[in-house]
Amino acid sequence: MTYAAFLDSQTQPDAPAGLSALLEALWYAGRDEWHKAHAIAQQHEDVPLFDWLHAFLHRQQGDADNAAYWYQRANRPVFAGSLRHEWQELVRTQLPE
């Protein structure tokens, strides 16, 4: 799947079949289905990209302190850009343009 196809899939009622757990969580996060994305992130704690996702989700939720904790666990600085930009950057770690 390409990045563009992933973006297009956001308008569909269900996540595309065959997504990795990280992409599935990002699919839900991109649709503001926070609880579904968070449940997936929690299942993969101690995996750096999932810890980054976890940080993003708490930032999306408005919980800066919890987000900072997860950025530290992911060994990443607190993201300074917009939530949308961070989400796009996370997706691009997994998909080609």
Per the domain annotation, does 30 fall within a domain?
Answer: no
Q: pTM for the full model?
A: 0.94
Token pair listed for 71: 């950025």
Beta carbons within 8 Å of 64's beta carbon, 6+ residues apart: 58
For the chain, what is the domain count?
Answer: 1
Q: Which residues of 12-50 are buried (b: 16+ CB within 10 A; e: fewer)?
A: eeebeeebeebbbbbbbbbbeeeeebbebbeebeeeebb
Domain hosting residue 75, numbered range: 45-97
User: What Cα–Cα distance (Å) separates residue 9 from each residue in 18, 29, 72?
Assistant: 13, 13, 31
- The band of 80, judged by pLDDT with boundaries at 50, 70 and 90, is very high
Per the domain annotation, does 57 fall within a domain?
Answer: yes
Amino acid at 25: A
Per the domain annotation, does 75 fall within a domain?
Answer: yes
| pLDDT for 97 beyond 90 | no
The predicted-structure confidence for 8-35, as pLDDT tens digits, reads as follows: 999 999 999 999 999 999 999 999 999 9
